[in-house]
Amino acid sequence: KDRLKQKSVVIPTTPTTPAIKHRLWPEINRITLEQLHYARLGVGAGSWQLFAEDGDMRMYRREEEANGLVVDPLKACHVVKGVTGHEVCKIFFSPEYRSGWEATLEDMTVIENISKDTLVFLQTHKRIWPASQRDALFWSHMRKVPDAQDLWIACNHSTEHADYPPNAGKCVRVYLTVCLVCQTLIDPPKQNELIKREDITCKITYCSVVNPGGWAPASVLRAVYKREYPKFLKRFTNFCIDQCKDKPIVF
C-alpha cells in the first residue's frame, strides 16, 4: 500500500506559471511548443546550408524572401562546457544580462512583467547603414521541458502593445521568432552532489527567423547576418561560461 502511495506522484505536463492567466498565454504556449519541436528536428530535414563553423559551433540558413524582404531562417548548434541548460536559458531570458552579450542592442525596456518566466520587451537595435534603425517588441518565455532529461527552452516572439505602435518614430519594427533550446549532459554520470562544472556540457540549438519589417537591401542584410549571428553565439556562450564559473551549479 505504501509503495503504491509513493508511485502516485503527479508530474505536471502543463506549466504551473502564473502567466497562464494572461491574455497572451495561449499564443505563448503554442509558439513555445512549436519552436521546441522545430528545434528538435535538427538540420536533417529541409535544405539547410552550412554558412559558419567554428569549433563545435555550426550555423545553417535557408534563403527565403517574403514580399521582397529577406527572412532567411537560421538554425545553429553548439556545445559548451561547464554550464547547464537552465543557466544558459536563464541568461538568454533575463534582462539584467542582455547588454553583456547582445552586441546589436542600443536600448532595452521590459514593458510588461507577466511573471518571473514571462516578460514583454521593447528593444532598439543599432542602425545599420544604409537602412533605417530597427526596434523589436516581443514576449519572452522560458521553461523546463517536462518528460525530458534536463531540457530547457527560451522563446521570443513578436507581439503588439497599444502604447508602442510599430513604425511610429524613427525605427522600423522587425518581427521575430527565436528559440534557444538547451540540454545538459553529464559525463561521467554521477550523483548530483558530486558533479563538478568540468563534468557538464550544454548542447545548444538556436533558431531564428527575423522579418526586417521594411526596406533593407538583401545583400547587405545577408552579409550582416553572416557576420553577426556567429559573433552573437560565440559572445553569448562565452558570456555564460564567464557568468557561471565560480558559482554553484544550477540544474
| CB closer to ligand 6CM, 77 vs 200 | 77
Residues 51-110 that bind ligand 6CM (CB under 6 A): 102, 104
Taking contact as CB under 6 A, which single stretch among the options 22-30, 55-63, 78-86, 219-227 is the one that binds ligand 6CM?
A: 219-227
* Cα→Cα distances 20→48, 77, 118, 159, Å: 35, 30, 10, 17
| CB closer to ligand 6CM, 200 vs 204 | 204
* Rounded CA separation 102/209 (Å): 17
Cell of 36: 521546441
| CB closer to ligand 6CM, 86 vs 134 | 134
Residues 168-207 that bind ligand 6CM (CB under 6 A): 174, 176, 178
* Rounded CA separation 71/227 (Å): 16
| CA angle at 249 for the pair 14 and 80, rounded to the nearest 5° | 85
* Cα→Cα distances 24→29, 114, 159, 207, 224, Å: 9, 10, 9, 22, 32
Residues 19-38 that bind ligand 6CM (CB under 6 A): none
| CB closer to ligand 6CM, 186 vs 224 | 224
Of 220, 226, 241, 243, the residue at the interface with ligand 6CM (CB under 6 A) is 220
Question: In which element (H, E) is residue 60 found?
Answer: strand 57-61
* Residue 128 makes contact with ligand 6CM by CB under 6 A: yes
How many residues touch ligand 6CM under the rule CB under 6 A: the total is 23
Of 60, 139, 175, 229, the residue at the interface with ligand 6CM (CB under 6 A) is 229
Instruction: Report in angstroms how near the CB of residue 126 gets to ligand 6CM at its nearest.
Output: 8
* Rounded CA separation 131/54 (Å): 29
Question: Cell 526596434 belongs to which residue?
Answer: 135
CA atoms within 13 A on the CB side of 182: 29
Taking contact as CB under 6 A, which single stretch among the options 78-86, 141-149, 190-198, 213-221 is the one that binds ligand 6CM?
A: 213-221
Q: What is the dihedral of CA 200, 88, 143, 209, to 10 degrees?
A: -130
Contact residues toward ligand 6CM (CB under 6 A) are 102, 104, 123, 125, 128, 131, 134, 136, 156, 174, 176, 178, 208, 210, 212, 216-217, 220-221, 224, 228-229, 232
